[in-house]
Chains A and B, each alone.
Chain A
């Protein structure tokens, strides 16, 4: 579905990600794990079109997208929920969701996506008129994910959705990610909660200072010494 081939990218002459390749197949949950500053966000920003690679290509459904603009990439069916949620805090929950559906043309489709999102997150339906910056951290993350789903993506990218949440909320988020995937959405999950991420992932890539150092099936990586030492503290 998505493949990155020999991507190098950075900021203002500073290389952050070097020559990485990976792929995501339809229906999978794939995790990208690695410590702070490894280059995870840089990679997903590149996929979303916010920055453009210096080298390499990105193919989505066999079409090159590495020079496309973010708003065109959304229309193609990739939606990214950015690190730190980036909600429109002064707007209501419903406005945030409607902005998530900005690229959707038909009103009937918007309504359909809204109902399916409300179905997944009943609390958003109850509190749709509330300003989003009055929400707690966990609720904000739910809203951010819901907003990301409003464009009805075939690929959903989540950049550290569990960041800053307590253990109970973290497991809620992972349950939701599973549920979204069960509904037919392919998921690229960026995480530092390595254990939970690997548990629900079909496959995973381990990123270290801008390079992919390991890849494999989620449960397999959980058993690997490197992952256990570096990320699970065992």
Chain B
């Protein structure tokens, strides 16, 4: 029994770190621009398909697709911001909701059109197999993704706190008007943040593609969980998203273990509801 519990804790931690990685980009965009990017899950899906096709067509292993996903999704993110999202930034909040929602539907429908709604799996890649440590099975692709998640969170943390551009992003997040008065081009910061957010979730997609089903609607579930993680951690907080991702992962596996696996997402959303009820700004929100 304790072994089984340990196994659940390990699984929870690994899936949780994936949630953290998915959520970091969303919380960044949310914090800086104060908009909900409903297309975030679809960005994840694009990352997964990028990795899938690079492997299927060119034999490029997902490990090497990671930088390609980062750059490709960064470019796509900035373009979507420039040509679509920025047009409604000064408009009513509803327009901002509708526009990212529209982008999400557009992307997932396009994916169905080109790639059919089928579920795909990558065959064995360089990241495969399991490690056994003290009676606990650790899936190697999940461990790799967790490393990626930790590295991404730590780099974002230091990028924001230590670099001039990072501080400009934080300043824009705290007070856009004051940031403008400092000489910061806040439109450029928006576009940069949108690009980084998309790039990070693109990387998450590349990792996820090594052990999860790849299909056009995959963004729905992960996108929704990412919203919970962001709200739980505090909008705009990288550290918050990191911790909340782990909490959600643990809640999901332990909940499934003690109650019934079919309730695992219900438990996640219940925790989310309780948190925003007790502490609306989230765990590390301000």
A-side interface residues toward B, CB under 8 Å? 48-50, 69-71, 74-75, 79-80, 82, 86-91, 95, 98-100, 102-103, 147, 151
Contacts and interface: CB of A to CB of B under 8 A. Distances in A.
A98 B167 contact: yes
A103 B183 contact: yes
B114 interface: no
A199 B180 CA distance: 32
Contacts of B168: 99, 102
A71 B177 contact: no
A102 B184 contact: yes
Interface in B183-218: 183-186
B177 A50 contact: yes
A101 to B, nearest CB: 8
A90 B182 contact: no
B184 A71 contact: yes
Given A86-B177, A99-B182, A151-B182, 16 more contacts: A48-B181, A69-B180, A74-B181, A79-B181, A82-B177, A82-B181, A86-B175, A87-B178, A89-B174, A90-B170, A102-B182, A102-B183, A102-B184, A103-B182, A147-B182, A151-B183
Nearest to A74: B183
Given A69-B185, A71-B184, A102-B184, A86 B178 contact: yes
A10 to B, nearest CB: 17
A82 B180 CA distance: 11
Contacts, number: 62
B181 A88 contact: no
A184 to B, nearest CB: 21
B183 A75 contact: yes
A214 to B, nearest CB: 29
B180 A88 contact: no
Nearest to A148: B181
Contacts of A82: 177-178, 181
B43 to A, nearest CB: 28
Nearest to B178: A86
B182 A74 contact: yes
A91 B177 contact: no
Nearest to B188: A71
B278 to A, nearest CB: 23
Query: Closest 10 A-B residue pairs measured CB to CB?
Result: A103-B183, A74-B183, A86-B178, A70-B180, A71-B183, A102-B182, A102-B183, A99-B182, A71-B185, A88-B174
